[in-house]
Every structure is written in C-alpha cells, then in structure tokens.
Amino acid sequence: MSKPRFQPYRGIILKSRDGIPPPALPPRDINLANEARTARQRFYPVTLVYTTYALAVIAAGLRTNGRTAVLFIGVAAACWTLIEYLVHRHVLHRAFSNGPGRLRSILHHVFDPSHGDHHLRPWDGRHINGGVDTVPFAGGFALASFLAPLPTLPVFVAAILQCYVIEEWIHYAVHFHRFRGRYFEYIRKHHLYHHSARGRTAAFGLSSGIWDVPFRTRIPSKDRDVLYPRRDAGPRRTSAA
C-alpha cells in the first residue's frame, strides 16, 4: 500500500507558460483504486482539522445566540457556491506570470503551478483535492473573523470551511465514483464536461452550475441536450398529410 502523500499541491504545469492543458490518457497500468486512496489520504487531515474547528465554533455560536448563528450559517452556505465559482475561474484557471515586485513573485510561485496538473492528470490522486497548503489561508481568515462577535463572522467562516470540505469530497467522488442519484449524475457530467477539450472555459461551478448561468460560462445548449436528455421526451408525432 502506498504511503500517504502530504506534499503541497504542486505539479509540472505552469499556467503562465502552458495554459490549462487537455487531459492526458492515463497509463495502462494505472490502478484507480490506489489513486482514489491517495486522494483520500491527502485530504483526511484537512477534513479532520476544518470539521473539528467548524463544529466547535458553530456549537459555541449557537449557544451564544442561536438565531444569529443560524442566519450566518445559511448566508455562508449560500455564499459558498459563489466563492467556489470565483476561485475556480479566476484563481485556479488564471495565469500568474512572474515579474518585478515581491507580490507578483509570490502570486506566481503560489498560484501559477496550481490546478494545471489536475487538468492534465484528472485521474491522479495527488492532484484531486486541496491539501495542507490551504491551512495558512484558512487560519488567517479564521483569526480575523474573531474581530466580530462569535455568532457572526466566526460562525460564517467556520461554515465556509465546512462547505469547502463538503465540496472537495463531492469533487473527489465525481472523479473516482459513480454514486446513484440525480444530483451526482448531474454534477459528475457537469464537471467532467469541464475537463473535456470543449469545456475548459465553461462549467466552473464545482458543487453546482448555478453561477455559470449569470456569468455566461454555462455548458452550451446543444451539449446540455446531449448530457442531460429530457427523461419525459417521447417520440415526436407527425401530423397526417
């Protein structure tokens, strides 16, 4: 059994140099069960840390002011779908070229190597989920949130982190499993279209396609008709001459 791989999310693709590549064919000897195990092992620590933190903060917020905490949990869940869309489209798919200035150099080294290898090797368990490299960002937002009362921003950020965990497990499931149910059938087709040669500029939503509609990155209608055929569509009737 392969050992867990907890290295930061890095690869050989630089978006400023290579763009977002089309998927390469998996090796003939690939073991998808092992790749799925690698993906799970990489994400278990983050799942444990974020979920423990989220449950503790949300529970404390509910005890302090239940109505306010529930409101901010609901707002966070609604906001998460937009956050995941914007990050996927404008951070993970954006090229961060190097250049003069410390900030530009930092952005290049942090974000330019991210996500390209996921598109090149969508069957590679090392490039499916985020990992411990998200912790500094999450920690910074969590600490800053406590400048506000507990049932408000701290609960909001905690709920956002839990939504992130849920979304990443959905993403894992889309790549390695075929769960039954209309939602999983929909989101699997939606995301795998994004990985196709036609879909690299469409279908940026990871847990839903709701924001692809107003931001005009929805899957084209002719492709949607193929992906999601109407179940109630019967044979067309022809009128008598």
Could you report the per-residue pLDDT of 121-165, keeping only the tens digit for each? 999 999 998 878 889 999 999 999 999 999 999 999 999 999 999
pLDDT of residue 233: 52
Question: Would 25 be classed as within a structural domain?
Answer: yes
Question: Would 2 be classed as within a structural domain?
Answer: no
Average pLDDT, the chain: 90
Question: Would 8 be classed as within a structural domain?
Answer: no
Question: Would 114 be classed as within a structural domain?
Answer: yes
Question: Would 28 be classed as within a structural domain?
Answer: yes
Structure tokens at 128: 């499916």
Quote the domain boundaries for residue 71. Answer: 15-178
Question: Would 232 be classed as within a structural domain?
Answer: no
Q: What is the mean pLDDT of residues 72-96?
A: 97
Which residues contact residue 162 at a Cβ distance below 8 angstroms, ignoring those fewer than 6 apart?
50, 51, 54, 55, 58
Say which range, 15-24, 119-128, 231-240, has the weakest mean pLDDT: 231-240
Helix, strand or coil, per DSSP, at residue 87: helix
Question: Would 96 be classed as within a structural domain?
Answer: yes
What DSSP assignment string belongs to 26-85? PPTT--HHHHHHHHHHHHHHHHHHHHHHHHHHHHHHHHH-HHHHHHHHHHHHHHHHHHHH
Could you report the per-residue pLDDT of 91-122, keeping only the tens digit for each? 999 999 998 999 999 999 989 999 999 999 99
Number of domains forming the structure of the chain: 1
CA angle centred on 89, ends 22 and 105, rounded to 5° = 90
Question: Would 20 be classed as within a structural domain?
Answer: yes
Q: Whole-angstrom distance between the N-terminal and C-terminal Cα of the chain?
A: 69
Neighbours of 174 (CB within 10 A): 23
Could you report the per-residue pLDDT of 193-213, keeping only the tens digit for each? 999 988 989 999 999 999 999
pLDDT of residue 230: 78
